[in-house]
Amino acid sequence: MGFRRKGREYALQLLFQADVGERARREEVSPTRFEAFWAQRNASPDVRAFAEALVRGVGTRAADVDRILERHAHHWSLERMAAVDRNVLRLAVYELFYLTDVPPRVALNEAIDIAKKYGSEESGRFVNGVLDDILKTEPALQSRRDAPDQAHASDVRP
Q: What is the pLDDT of residue 27?
A: 54
> Looking at the domain assignment, is residue 158 inside a domain?
no
In this predicted model, what pLDDT tens digit does every residue of 31-78 receive, in sequence order? Answer: 888 999 999 999 999 999 999 999 999 999 999 999 999 999 999 999
Residue 151: inside a domain, yes or no?
no
> Is the pLDDT reported for residue 116 higher than 50?
yes
- Domain assignment of residue 88, yes or no: yes
Specify the CATH number for the domain of residue 133.
1.10.940.10
Residue 155 lies in a domain: no
Query: What proportion of the chain, given as a percentage, has pLDDT over 90?
Result: 72
- Is residue 154 assigned to a domain? no
Count the domains in the chain: 1
pLDDT in tens, 119-137: 999 999 999 999 999 999 9
pTM of the model: 0.87
pLDDT at 157: 46
**Residue 72 located in a structural domain:** yes
On the 0-12 / 13-18 / 19+ scale of CB atoms within 10 A, 35 is: exposed
| Residue 43, pLDDT score | 93
- 42, part of any domain: yes
* Domain housing 12: 3-146
- Asked whether residue 63 is domain-assigned, the answer is yes
